């Protein structure tokens, strides 16, 4: 029997009492706070757009600031208070809450309600992220374009309130998951910086001439245009053509590929967005049969270069290149000539393959969702959610009639 089971058997063997939020907390609805009120330094504040972190706990460095004069007119949030979203255009965002565990008072605006309660702050924060609470809060949401759950309705929602000793033991278990993921996230960030350092170093070359000796070859290359070493073209499909369970990958303009029941190409290619927010940033590695959007580009390297080398070089440098060569301050659409003229350093083929070998290992470590750190973080997050929902699912105490 776990420590939590022992505590429940000791303190609430017949079930856990469920109480309305209004019975355990004073609910204070915030008031208006436009983003134009933000300043560089001042009184800490949380705007509704900042309201949520995965584990539901805000730290001091994550908040914005307003002037002391503005702060006097806003809802006060003391250390340990809960901040829960009232308004959003997205029902899932409306149903999220955070705890404020800072050391000083802050303020919040009209899109949130402050819960001044008598329970364990982190226990409530964890519970307010469960599917149980989401379902209850959703029942009280109203509105079409803008969705709102009033403080009055929040107060009606009933939640399990075990003894504080049980709450604290649950928090201790879930905190171990959050700490582990935080450590993995920190390691991932360190590896990404390491990856970027090695990528920039490996893809930097001394001059535009081919090295004379093999000892010099690692830092010398011929400079050719992308049009000289690759075939470039677009697809013919539109996003609306996508089929959810299609047989072939359909590369559109976003980060997530779609599907189709037909294919356009059977090859190894680099795919990038032709317009939209992904311009110069989104790249896919295609192998085999795939379909392509009419505003996405396929870059098919020639046989005399290593395709993965070109992929890594473009992923590292293409965005900066199109920003510098465009006449517009913000590039939202690409044209084929922008590709054709991009200079690419082409070292000897064995050097290309050496660079690819190193960068592919880093790429898998920091980006692959099926292996490496991202996969481990995802697995830990799923494990956390499983245990969180299990630990916070209680049998309700049946009150005597």
228 shares a domain with 153: no
In a domain, 392, yes or no: no
> Under 8 Å CB-to-CB from 242, ≥6 apart: which residues?
250, 252, 258, 259, 260
In a domain, 391, yes or no: no
Last residue of a domain, one of 346, 369, 393: 346
136 shares a domain with 24: yes
In a domain, 396, yes or no: no
150 shares a domain with 23: yes
152 shares a domain with 23: yes
CA distances to 179, 183, 190, 357 from 187, rounded to whole Å, are 12, 6, 5, 22
Helix (H, G, I), strand (E, B) or coil at 273: strand
CB 225 within 8 A of CB 341: yes
146 shares a domain with 36: yes
324 Rama class: left (phi>0) / alpha (psi -120 to 50) / beta: alpha
Last residue of a domain, one of 322, 346, 370: 346
User: Degrees (nearest 5) of the Cα angle 53, 57, 62?
Assistant: 70
In a domain, 393, yes or no: no
Domain with residue 32: its CATH number is 3.90.220.20
Last residue of a domain, one of 161, 176, 211: 161
Number of domain units in the chain: 2
23 shares a domain with 148: yes
In a domain, 73, yes or no: yes
In a domain, 65, yes or no: yes
Q: How far apart are CA 373 and CA 368, in angstroms?
A: 8
27 shares a domain with 135: yes
- pLDDT tens track, the chain, 401 positions: 478 878 888 888 888 999 999 999 999 988 777 777 888 888 888 776 565 555 566 665 567 888 998 888 888 999 989 888 877 666 666 656 777 877 888 888 878 889 999 999 999 988 988 888 888 888 888 877 777 888 899 999 999 999 999 999 999 988 888 888 888 888 888 888 888 888 888 898 864 443 333 344 445 789 999 999 999 999 999 999 999 889 999 999 888 899 999 999 999 999 998 887 778 777 899 999 999 999 999 999 999 999 999 999 999 999 888 888 765 556 567 888 888 989 999 999 999 999 999 999 888 888 776 677 878 888 888 888 888 888 888 888 876 55
153 shares a domain with 29: yes
Q: How far apart are CA 102 and CA 77, in angstroms?
A: 10
232 shares a domain with 134: no
157 shares a domain with 22: yes
Note down the domain range covering 337: 222-346
In a domain, 306, yes or no: yes
In a domain, 100, yes or no: yes
**R_g (Cα) of the chain, nearest Å:** 27
- The model's pTM is 0.66
């Amino acid at each position: 029997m776990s420590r939590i089971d022992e505590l429940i058997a000791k303190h609430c063997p017949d079930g856990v009492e469920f109480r309305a939020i209004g019975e355990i907390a004073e609910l204070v609805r915030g008031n208006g706070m436009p983003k134009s009120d933000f300043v560089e330094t001042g009184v800490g504040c949380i705007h509704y757009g900042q309201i949520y972190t995965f584990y539901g706990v805000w730290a001091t460095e994550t908040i914005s600031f307003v002037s002391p004069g503005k702060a006097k007119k806003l809802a006060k949030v003391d250390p340990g208070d809960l901040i829960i979203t009232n308004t959003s255009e997205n029902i899932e965002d409306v149903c999220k809450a955070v705890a404020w565990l800072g050391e000083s008072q802050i303020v919040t605006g009209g899109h949130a309600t402050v819960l001044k309660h008598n329970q364990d702050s982190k226990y409530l924060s964890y519970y307010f992220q469960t599917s149980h609470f989401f379902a209850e809060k959703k029942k009280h949401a109203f509105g079409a374009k803008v969705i709102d759950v009033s403080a009055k309705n929040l107060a009606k929602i009933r939640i399990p309130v075990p003894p504080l000793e049980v709450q604290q033991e649950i928090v201790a278990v879930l905190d171990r998951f959050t700490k582990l993921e935080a450590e993995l996230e920190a390691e991932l960030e360190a590896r990404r910086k390491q990856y970027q350092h090695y990528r920039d170093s490996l893809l930097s070359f001394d001059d535009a001439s081919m090295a004379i000796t093999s000892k010099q070859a690692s830092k010398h290359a011929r400079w050719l245009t992308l049009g000289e070493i690759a075939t470039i073209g677009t697809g013919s499909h539109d996003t609306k053509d996508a089929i959810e369970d299609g047989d072939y990958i359909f590369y559109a303009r976003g980060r997530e590929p779609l599907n189709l029941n037909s294919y356009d190409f059977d090859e190894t290619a680099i795919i990038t967005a032709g317009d939209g927010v992904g311009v110069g940033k989104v790249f896919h590695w295609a192998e085999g049969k795939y379909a392509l959007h009419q505003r996405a580009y396929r870059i098919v390297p020639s046989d005399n270069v290593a395709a993965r080398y070109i992929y890594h070089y473009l992923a590292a440098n293409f965005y900066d290149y199109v920003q510098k060569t465009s006449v517009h301050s913000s590039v939202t659409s690409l044209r084929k000539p922008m590709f054709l003229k991009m200079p690419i350093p082409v070292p000897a083929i064995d050097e290309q393959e050496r660079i690819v070998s190193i960068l592919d290992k880093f790429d898998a470590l920091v980006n692959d969702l099926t292996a490496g750190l991202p996969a481990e973080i995802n697995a830990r997050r799923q494990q956390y959610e499983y245990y969180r929902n299990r630990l916070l699912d209680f049998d309700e105490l049946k009150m005597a009639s």
